[in-house]
Amino acid sequence: MSVVNVTAGPAGSPVLAPSIWFVGCGNMAGAMVEGWRSAGVDFSQSVAIRPSGTPVPGLRTVQTLGEAGRPPELLLLGFKPQMLRELAPGLANWVTSRTAVVSILAGVEVATLRELFPRAQAVVRVMPNVACAIRRGVTGLYSADADEALRTRLRQLFMILGLTVECTNEAELATIGSVAGAGPAYVARFIEALARAGEARGLDPQLSLTIARETVFGTGWLAATTGAEMDEIVRRVRSPNGTTAAGLAVLEPELPALVGRTIDAAARRGAELAAAARAIDSPEGAA
Ligand SMILES: NC(=O)c1ccc[n+]([C@@H]2O[C@H](COP(=O)([O-])OP(=O)(O)OC[C@H]3O[C@@H](n4cnc5c(N)ncnc54)[C@H](OP(=O)(O)O)[C@@H]3O)[C@@H](O)[C@H]2O)c1
C-alpha cells in the first residue's frame, strides 16, 4: 500500500480530464465531480448519465447511454452495487479495449467486474469518501491489471481530491471503505452526540452543534498539520484528576470496542455485497 498524496490541489494549469462517463452521479460521484471542478478540472469531454436527468454542474448530463456519444476512456460506475446486475449487460456494449472500467461500488470485487466487462482495457476499484467534494477526501485505489500509464493518470486525477492510497490487494481497499468511505457518517454521528450532550447541559442547540463541529474539525486539523500522536494530544488536554480525565474514564473503556464493532459490521456488509454481486450469473445468485 502506498500513499501518494496528503495535500489537496494541483499546481499550475487546469487538468483536462480524460473522457469519462459517470454512470450514476449522485452523492458520491457528484462529490468527486465537485472536488475536481473546484480544482479547475476540465470535463468538456465527459458526460453524466442519470435516469432523472438532474443536471450535474459542469458536466453534460443525459438520461440514457444512447445519448452519451462515443465510448469513453473511463467508464465510472457510480450507481448502487445492487443495480450492477441490471445495468452491466447494457454498459458492456459500450466498453472497448481502450475503456477502463472504474468502479466506486462498495464491495463489488475486481473478479466480478472483469467477468462482466471482459473487453475492458482494465478494471479499477476506487473507494472514495464524500469529503472529496472539498478536496479533503480519502480515496483507496486498486487494480490488478491497469498498466503504468493508466495508474499514473488515475493517481494524478484522484490526488486532486485529497489523500490517495494505492492498495496492493482488495482486502486493504475493503478496509479503507469500511473506515474512510463510511467514516464521514460515523464522525457526523459523533459530532451530533457531542452537540446533544452540550445541549443537555444547557447550551443553545445550534451553538452546541457549532462548538462540537469546530472541536472535531480543530482537533483533526491540529493532528494533521502538526503530525502529533493522538496520545500527545490527549496528554496536552488531560491533567491528573481533572475534568478531561473524568470524561475519558467513561469513554476510553468503551470506545475502541464500539468502533471496532462498527467497522466489523460495515466490513461484513461489504462482504455480503461482494457475494451478491459475485453470484450474478450463478443459479443461486439468480434465485
Ligand atoms: N455515498 C458515499 O459516501 C459512498 C462512499 C464510497 C462509495 N460509495 C459508492 O458509490 C455508489 C453510489 O452511492 P451514492 O451514495 O452516490 O448513491 P446515490 O446518491 O443514490 O446515487 C446513485 C446514482 O445512481 C444513479 N442511477 C440509478 N439508476 C440508474 C440507472 N439505471 N442508470 C444509471 N444510473 C442510475 C442515480 O441516478 P439519479 O441521480 O438520476 O437518481 C444516482 O445518480 C455506491 O455504489 C456506493 O457503494 C458511496
The domain 2-176 is classified under which CATH number: 2.40.10.340, 3.40.50.1370, 3.30.40.10, 3.40.50.720? 3.40.50.720
In the chain, the amino acid numbered 71 is P
**pLDDT for 247:** 98
Residue nearest to atom 20 of ligand 1 (CA): 26
**Is the Cβ–Cβ distance between 84 and 280 less than 8 Å?**
yes
**pLDDT for 16:** 81
Shortest-distance atom of ligand 1 to CA 129: 5
Q: Locate 243 and state its grid cell.
A: 475534568
Please give the helix or strand (H or E) that residue 228 lies within, else none.
none
Q: Which of 52, 75, 76, 80 to mutate to test the pocket of ligand 1 (most atoms within 8 A of CB)?
A: 80
**pLDDT for 14:** 66
pLDDT digits (tens, 9 = 90+) for 226-250: 999 999 999 999 999 999 999 999 9
All CATH 1.10.3730.10 domain ranges in the chain, comma separated: 183-277
**pLDDT for 214:** 98
**pLDDT for 12:** 55
The domain 183-277 is classified under which CATH number: 1.20.950.20, 1.10.3730.10, 2.40.50.100, 1.10.150.50? 1.10.3730.10
**pLDDT for 17:** 84
Q: How many other C-beta atoms can be found within 10 angstroms of the C-beta atom of residue 223?
A: 14
**pLDDT for 284:** 42
**pLDDT for 283:** 40
Mean pLDDT (the chain, rounded): 93
Shortest-distance atom of ligand 1 to CA 79: 24
Please, which residues have CB within 8 angstroms of residue 188's CB and are 6 or more apart in sequence? none
pLDDT averaged per 10 residues in sequence order, the chain, 287 residues: 53 75 98 96 96 96 96 97 95 96 97 97 98 98 97 95 97 97 98 98 98 98 97 97 98 98 97 87 40
